[in-house]
Each structure stands twice: as C-alpha cells, then as structure tokens.
Structure 1
Amino acid sequence: MAINNQENSNNIVKLMINSEIHKYPKGIPLEEIAKDFQKQDSGLIVAALMNNQLKELFNKVEEDSEINFIDINSAIGSRIYQRSLVFVFIRSCMELFSGCNVSVEHSISKGLYCEVHYKRSIDENDVARIQERMEEIIAEDVAFVKNRIPVDEAKDIFRDYGQMGKVKLLKYREKPYINMYQCGWLKNYFYGYMVPSTGYLKAFKLKFYNPGIVIQLPRIELGGEIGPFQEHPKIFKVFRETENWGKILEIDHVASLNDLIVSRKEGEFIRIAEALHEKKIAEIADTITNHVLEKRVILIAGPTSSGKTTFAQRLMIQLKVNGLKPVSISLDDYFVDREKTPKDEYGEYDFESLYAIDLQSFNRDLIALLKGEEVELPQFNFHTGLREYNGKKLKIDKDQPLILEGIHALNDELTASINKDLKFKIYISALTQLNIDEHNRVPTTDTRLIRRIVRDYKYRSNDALRTLSLWDSVRRGEEKNIFPFQEDADVMFNSALFYELSLLKKSAEPLLRQVDPASPYFSEAKRLLKFLSYFVALENEVDIPRTSILREFIGGSAFH
C-alpha cells in the first residue's frame, strides 16, 4: 500500500523498513503495512518494533519511523502467538463447559499444559470438541479489541467469571486502570500483547494429556511448524510434585505470596519452602547411599542458573551425614587447550561444546579412579588457556561416590568408558509452578534469566544488557546439550522456590532499568520489568538461610 511520491507530504509518513525508505499514508495501521512485507516462506508477522518500542499491529503510524516487524519465529512473536491462542482456548472451554475454570499450568514438549476444572473429568472426546470450536472461532477472524477500564470494573468481571486469582492480584495494581482484551463475548487480561484477530492463529494442535490438555504450538526451531509430541513423564511428575508443594504452602498464585509479604508472615513460609528442598536433597542422598557400591559416579546436569553448584554442595553434606566420603571433580579442568577449542557457526570458540572437553584424558582418569588407582588431576588455567598439572592427586575407595557436575553430565558420550549401570544421573532445573493468575504463567526460562541477571552483575561484573545479549546463545546451547538428555535422569530436583521472584525483584529491577531505550534488548528488559511488577518485593533477607540455592545468586552463600 505504498503511495506515490507526488502525494501531499503532509499526509504521508516516511518509514525505514529493511534498510529502505517507504512512504505510506499518515495514520495507516501497522497491520496494513505488514501485508506488504509478509513473505510466503517466512514466519507470520504478529507485531512490530516502531522506533524500538514494541507495538501491536492495530497501532497507527502518525510520524516518520523506523519499523522492524516481529514474526512468530522470534521469542517475542512466539509469546504473542501463544498468548492469543490461549485466549481462544479459554473462550472455547467456557462455551462448551459452562461454569468451568481454565488454568494454564506450565510448558511441556514445547507446548502449554492446561487443565479444565469442571464438574466432571475431561476426556479425549472433549478435547476434540474444544479443537473444533477453536477452529470455528479462528475461521470467524474475530478481532481482539483492547480497552482501558477501571480496576474495580475489571474485578467485577473476573468475579463473575469465578477467576479469583485475577481479582486478588488486582488489589496490588498501582494504576487505577488495566488494559482488557475482548474476543467476542469474553473479556480477559494478559500481561502481554495480542495478534489483531483470531484469523492469525491457524497453526495449533490439542492433545489430551490426562488429566489436562496440551496446546501444541508452532516452534521457532522448526521454522513455525508444529513438531511431534514428545512424552516427558519425569518432568511432568516434578511439576505435579511442585503443585502439591504449593498446596502445602497454601500458595496458588502471586497474590497469595504478596499477601504473605505485606502481612509480614513470609518467615515461616520461607522456612517451609527451604525445608522441602532439604528433604528432597536428603531423599536423593539416601537413594545414592543405598546403591553406592553399584552406582558410584554421580552425574549432575541442568540448564544455566539452576543452582547446580549449591545443590552439589548440599548433596555432599547429606551424603556425609549418611557416613559417606564423596569427592568431586571439576569438568572445567579437562578443557582442551584454548586453541584446540571447537568453534561455532559464527567462528567463535564454543566452550559449551562437548568437544571442548578432552574426553580421552577425562575418561582415562575416570577409569583409573574407579579402579582405586591414584590420579594426578589437571587444573585449567583460564588466564593462559592451558591445562596444567601441579601435583594435585586423588585416590578414592570403592564406597566413595564420585560427583561430576556440568552441562554435559547426562550425556553418555562424556563418560563413554564406564558402564551405564555405574552412573546415577540427577537433572536439576528451576521448574516454576507458581503462576501470576489462572491464565498468566511464570515461565521457567524467565525465572532462570532473572536469576542470571542478578548473579552476573554481582559475580561477573556483567550488566543486564550483557546478560540479555548472551541469552539466545545460552538457550541454543541448552536445547542442544542439556534438554535432549533430561529424561535420562534417575532423579530430578526442582530448584525453584516459590518466593524467589519477590526476593530477586529488588536486585533485578534497577539493573533492567539501566538498559538503554535504543538497545535492541530494551523491549525484553521492559517485558521483564512488567513481569516483576506483579510481585511485592521481599526486602528482608534475614530469613534466607546461607545454604539456600538463592544465595548462589544474591550473595552470602555458605559455599562461596
């Protein structure tokens, strides 16, 4: 819809798109412009950055601007698509099962696990009916209409829907209004943007996953295609266990946590949450102790900012309580000399590659140790980039567990020289179960990202911008090196703590506010700030034990 150069300059805007100037009528919606740049073989455009500010496509362009379109093959676009599809899912469920309540629980197999709380259990036939109704709403191309309404009016709407998590959360809303979306008859509130209309949401599948439903979504790594559903029974079990912990702690949504902090009753809650962690670590230690002669090699892996280091130290303490004498080896000391490190597709050293480790030397020493031989261990000099031998020796008895912690620990290729029966594998991650309300979840990756922003500033002199700029690369490494092996674990440990975002808020917010508005990561910083705004800050750290996993990020750890 570009216009002729001869038209009145007062009625046109000049837009920089894809490094070229384009002219359009003043006041044109971004959605109309996007149609000119939507390619058949590229991802669906769902939003835009206008002068580095994230905008929904219904926004109109009133002045000369720089525009970068956002498609579903980006993290931002994927979230917008997912959020919009959830709205249609909720509406369909409420129409088919009058009086039901829908809860969006957590991610699984790159999809969203949801539950429909109704007077009877949901079955496969119900899921087929929901899918059919969603497809009808999508075919109708119903607009998502955004309106600003007073908070009290919003409370009344959610009270009528029986969505008390939203009602309770709104009492912590600082502004007197909220932006409410409407799709047909249903009004709802989400903490992010939407596509213009339901017609954008053609790609999805529903899968019955007893007792709930998984919404399968277009996947970035598959170019917007929907991949096959992969069973993750162990991860799913951990989420269910954490849900039960939430019931023990009487915490269902963020508002319940805020209530505790405002009323200054968080102390006992924190102690119970930490005790649940300690109990789980003790159970893992008991399992290892009971099989120490058969499974001598303890392998610990998990994605970044999971708290692996603190977990390993606490596990060693519990093993010592059981009368064992565990020893640990640092995989970092087996890095190849820096000049031999593999390089990634950008020509940079790939320190997260399995082959950045000298597998031959590591396995040779591992076999010798398990035979009871004395081994001289290397030490990697990070200043010179060379592996050195400085006389550090180790010998272990047959009843001493050997603990190895690192991103590749669950990959059998790392320990290819020893029998699988000798290995005890532990997967650790911060699998958040606490959600903002019934329909707005707390993504596990956001929790870990906020942990890392706080830790990197405190211990690595990295500002939030640096951490955000590295995050995509870190996530690619996890997808390649960690997540494919998670279901191979013998046990899983959830390092998330229900209160942690309230605690991390006071450290993370100032760092995120320092991200320059001109930065390409400004919209992500802004999103995280909005996310944190739902939490009341936990200012007092006195109740946080020095052995807590969170001390690895905020400081004051007994293990540093």
Structure 2
Amino acid sequence: MGNIRVRINGVTKEYEEGATYRDVAKDVQGEFEHEILLMIEGGTLKELYKKIDGDCELIPLTAGDETGRRTYTRGVIFLMLCAVYETIGKELVEKIRVEYSIGNGIYCEIDSAEGGLRQFTEKELEEVKKRMKELVSLDLPIVKRVVSRSEAIKIFHQERLYDKEHLFKYRRESQSSVYTMNGFTDYFFGYMPYSTGSLKYFDIINYEKGFVIVLPEKKNPEKVEEFKPMQKFFSTLVRTNDWCAAMDIENVAELNDVISEGGINEMILLQEALQEKRIAEMAEMIKHRPDAKFIMIAGPSSSGKTTFSRRLSIQLRTIGLMPHPISVDNYFVDRKHTPRDEDGNYDFEVLEAIDIEKFNQDMNDLLAGKTVQIPSFNFETGEREYKGDFITMGKDDIL
C-alpha cells in the first residue's frame, strides 16, 4: 500500500493510502487555535469522514471561519433537535421550528402535538441542556448517508418531519444526503461536523414564546457570551412570520403549493398590500412625532433602500408632509480620493468613501433653516455635481 502526500500551511506530510481528512485534522490540530471542522481541497469543501483520494493541498476550517461557523451552527441545531425529542418525547411535539438568527443566538419555537406553542419549563430546559452535553461527551459520530428521494420522504414521515416530507415531494434530484445522530435522522442544507464531540460550546435559554440557542462568536469560538436581545429586530421578524401566516405560506413547500396551483399573482398582490399597509403605518408614526426631521434608512448595497424611500415618501405626502429623500451616495468623495481595498479595487463600503464633513454641514444647515444645494454624484465621471437641487426646510418638511 502506497502513501499520499498532503500539504498544509506550507508543510508536506505523508499518510497511508486510505487516510481520511479526519486523520489529517487530528495530526495537525495542535497547529491551529480552534478545532478543525472541515477541509478545503482544490476550492471544494470536504467533510472529515471522507477518504483522501490522492496527493493534495488542504486548508483546514474551524468555527473561527465563516463557513466553519455555519457548520458548527448546523451541528448544534442537530444536537438540540435530538436532545429535545429524546427529553420531551416525539409524541408530544408536532414540530420544532428553527426560526431566525438574533445576535449570537438562534430563536426556535416548539409546536405542541396538542396545539399551540409549547415553552420549556425551567426543569425541561435544564434536562434538554443536560442531554445535549451528554451527547457531546459521548462524542457520537454524525453519520451521513446518501438516499433516494423516495427513501428520504419515508424517513421524514417516520421522524414526524412533515414539512420536509412535503418539501421533498417537489425535489427533482433523485438522491439526497441525510444525517443521523444517535438514531435520529434529519436533512440539513450544508455540511456537518464529524462528531458531537466538536459541539462543546453553547447555551439554551427561554426567550419570548420559544427559546434561543446561544452560540459562541466567530472571533472566539470557545466562549459563549451572554445573549443580547435585539427586541426591535426580533419584533420585525415576528411580524414577517405573521405576514407569512396570513398568506398561508410558512415554508418553501407551501410556497411551491401556491405556485403550482396558479396563485402566485394573488400572493404577490397580497404581499404588496401588506407591505404598503405597514409603510402607511410608519408614515402615521412619523407624523405624530413633529420634532423628528430625519428618517434614516440603513441597509447593505442593493437592499432596496431607494425604492423604500420613494414608497415612504408617497405615504408621507398623502398625510400632508413634504419629504426630501437624500441618498448618501451623493456625498461620495471624488473617485480620485476613494479608498481602495487590499486588491486595489475601489471600496465604496468604508466610511472614508463618504464626505462626512460636507454631509454633516449640509444637514446642520438644513436644520438651522438655511437653503442648501444638495449634490448629485456622477458615477460616470466619478465626481460630485450640483444641478440646482435646493432645499429649505419648512414646518412640514422632513429629510
């Protein structure tokens, strides 16, 4: 039997033919600050249980990397599901819904088999947490299997995962991967850690109508910080869920149902009506705060800030206010002064790309009742221009 040569961090080592990525991870773990969860080979992610095909160069990933953190998160969710079903009993649980990320946690809810939501008692919470830690200490393998679509549907039915059973009826691929932990099988969109022993750091707390899985931060994967609630953000997510419930679309399978039954246009109209109603409510809230002269709209590139500002402006005008949308893009510094990133490309996302001094001066002048000419940034020439867009703030004007 021959050997294979593996290069990591500029060092080449030899391993016996048939060695797995796990074997290599264990061998080089001491060189890395955090536990290795995955490998990258030739730009492709590799789970640790797989055998290495031949000579290669590997890049280990840990929970300190974004991809590794997502893998760790999936593992802890799987751990939680297994522990809840074992502790509470599958017959008492209709389904466990992993809803959304909030800060350093993931909010979940349990639908009771008897109807309504079920929240952990303090005793149940401690039992679930204890069982999760027991599963970690057992260092159980997380086993991946490739099964046919029909077999996956059968598994989901047996595990009472009816939403996934419903979803897979629309799946076109003939095969899918499922994972098993301590006899419980589920499907996850993404890779898993090698075993439960890698999932040492987490907490679970009751929150609102459900509970939160608290995870370590990426910068320090071995430390679980105290959960910091983000109430406004959480309320927005809950409202979105309520919208989905109003449209009878609470998961992708139900969305597929609507599309296949020809109801997509009605769904879009209903969604637009709900959103317009909410924007109108925002406008009324703003009107009842006469001292508020600035409305700040934040979001990443191409997230719809400009479109939203126009829709809000229409609603504000219908109730007698005079909005003046101002894009911060118009305060970009001239292109020749724009900072560059490490690759030498223009970086428009950093604060230094904005002429903060000029922006602050114009906003303060407007608040002081002065007339200000608002600039317009020409993205073709890369320079700021002035085209006679003058604003003077009156009693009903708002920026």
- TM-score, structure 2 as length reference: 0.90
Q: Corresponding residue for 1:29?
A: 20
2:305 aligned residue: 308
Q: Residues of 1 paired with 2:32 and 2:9: CA distance?
A: 17
Using the alignment, how far apart are the partners of 2:191 and 2:214 within structure 1? 20
State the shift of 1:113 in Å.
Answer: 0.9
Preserved contact between residue 119 and residue 211 of structure 2 (Cα < 8 Å): no
1:214 aligns with 2:212: yes
SS at match of 2:322: coil
Task: Please state whether the residue corresponding to 1:23 is helix, strand or coil.
Answer: strand
For residue 28 of structure 1, give the secondary structure of its aligned residue in structure 2. Answer: coil
Q: For residues 127 and 301 of structure 2, what CA distance do their matches in structure 1 show?
A: 40
The residue number in structure 1 matching 2:196 is 198
Map of 1:112 onto structure 2: 106
Corresponding residue of 1:165: 163
For 1:217 and 1:281, the matched residues in 2 are separated by 34
Q: Map 1:529-540 onto structure 2 (within 5 A).
A: none
For residues 117 and 40 of structure 1, do their structure 2 counterparts lie closer, same or farther at Cα, with a shift above 3 Å needed? farther
Q: What is the CA–CA distance in structure 2 between the aligned matches of 1:163 and 1:18, rounded to whole Å?
A: 42
What secondary structure sits across from 1:231 in the alignment?
Answer: coil
**SS state of the match for residue 243, structure 1?**
helix
Q: Shift of the alpha carbon at 1:78?
A: 1.0
Paired residues in the alignment total 392
d(CA) in 1 for partners of 2:12 and 2:262? Answer: 57
1:395 is matched with 392
Name the structure, 1 or 2, with higher relative contact order (CA <8 Å, separation 6+). 1
Alpha carbons of 1:148 and 1:250: their partners in 2 closer, same or farther (altered >3 Å)? same
Give the C-alpha shift of residue 240 in structure 1.
1.3
Unaligned stretches of 5+ in structure 1?
Answer: 1-9, 403-560
Q: CA separation in 2, counterparts of 1:360 and 1:36?
A: 54
Whether 2:60 is the aligned partner of 1:69: answer: yes
Deviation, structure 1 residue 157 = 2.7
How much does 1:173 deviate? Answer: 2.0
Secondary structure of 1:96's match?
helix
Q: Deviations over 1:474-530 (max 9, x none)?
A: xxxxxxxxxxxxxxxxxxxxxxxxxxxxxxxxxxxxxxxxxxxxxxxxxxxxxxxxx
Cα-to-partner distance string for 1:392-421 (whole Å, 9 max, x where unaligned) = 42223221111xxxxxxxxxxxxxxxxxxx
* Structure 2 residue 40 is the aligned partner of structure 1 residue 46: no
2:373 aligned residue (373, 376, 398): 376
Deviation at 1:316, TM superposition (A): 0.9
Pair 353,81 (structure 1): closer, same or farther in 2 beyond 3 Å: same
Give the aligned partner of residue 70 of structure 2: 79
Q: Secondary structure at the match of 1:301?
A: coil
Counterpart of 2:130 in structure 1 is 132
| 1:298 is the counterpart of 2:295 | yes
- Provide closer, same or farther for how the CA distance between residues 323 and 132 of structure 1 changes in structure 2, counting only shifts above 3 A: same
Alpha-carbon deviations, 1:220-241, whole Å to 9, x = none? 1335532331111111111111
CA contact (8 A) 2:310 2:325 kept: no
Contact 1:12 1:23 in 2 (8 A): yes
Distance in 2, Cα, partners of 1:398 & 1:339: 39
Cα separation, partners in 2 of 1:223 and 1:179, compared to 1, 3 Å: closer
Sort the Cα spacing of 1:391 and 1:62 in 2 relative to 1 into closer, same or farther, 3 A: closer
**C-alpha distance in 2, partners of 1:312/1:335?**
19
Distance 1:384 1:39, change over 3 A: farther
- Whichever residue aligns with residue 296 of structure 2, its letter is L
In the other structure, the counterpart of 1:92 is 83
Deviations along 1:275-327, whole A, 9 cap, x unmatched? 11111111111222233x31122211123332111100111111122232211
Residue identity in the other structure for 1:299: M
Deviations 1:350-407 (A, max 9, x none): 53333443333323322322333222233344455544445442223221111xxxxx
Distance 2:53 2:380 in 1: 54
Change (3 A) 1:125 1:343: farther
Q: Percent identity?
A: 38
Aligned residue type for 2:157: R
Structure 2 distance, partners of 1:180, 1:223, is 26
Relative to 1, partners in 2 of residues 1:248 and 1:388: Cα closer, same or farther, differing over 3 Å?
Answer: closer
Partners of 1:386 and 1:330 in 2: CA distance: 15
Matches within 5 A, 1:349-368: 350-368=347-365
Query: Residue 10 of structure 2 corresponds to which residue in structure 1?
Result: 19
1:226 correspondence with 2:220: no
Query: For residue 110 of structure 1, what is the amino acid of its counterpart?
Result: N
CA–CA distance in 1 between the matches of 2:170 and 2:383?
54
Q: Aligned partner of 2:149: which letter? A: V
Match of 1:142 among 116, 140, 144: 140
The SS at the match of 2:296 is: strand
Matches within 5 A, 1:494-509: none
Q: Is the 8 A contact 1:73 1:224 kept in 2?
A: no
Report the Cα distance in structure 2 between the residues aligned to 1:389 and 1:266, rounded to whole angstroms. Answer: 44
Q: Deviations for 1:89-125, whole angstroms, at most 9, x for unmatched residues? A: 1010001111223111110112211122335532333
Query: Residues 309 and 388 of structure 1: is their aligned pair in 2 closer, same or farther, counting only changes over 3 Å?
Result: closer
Deviations 1:203-246 (A, max 9, x none): 11112213211111222133553233111111111111111111
Asked if structure 2 preserves the Cα contact closer than 8 Å seen for 1:102 and 1:114, the reply is: yes
1:450-469 aligned at under 5 Å gives the runs none
* Whole-angstrom CA distance in 1 between matches of 2:321 and 2:231: 31
Shift of the 27–284 alpha-carbon distance from structure 1 to 2, 3 Å rule, reads same
Q: Which residues of 2 match residues 374-523 of structure 1 at below 5 A?
A: 374-383=371-380, 385-389=382-386, 391-402=388-399
User: For the structure 1 residues 123 and 345, does the alpha-carbon distance in structure 2 shift closer, same or farther, using more than 3 Å as the test?
Assistant: farther
1:133-172: CA deviation from partner (whole Å, max 9, x where unpaired) = 0000110111111222333333233223322101101111
Q: Which residue of 2 aligns with 1:275?
A: 273
Task: State the Cα RMSD in Å.
Answer: 2.3
Letter in 2 for 1:104: V
Equivalent residue number for residue 103 of structure 1: 97
Q: What SS does the aligned partner of 1:191 have?
A: coil
Give secondary structure in 2 for the equivalent of 1:181. strand
- Report the AA paired with residue 85 of structure 1: V
Distance 1:62 1:290 in 2: 67
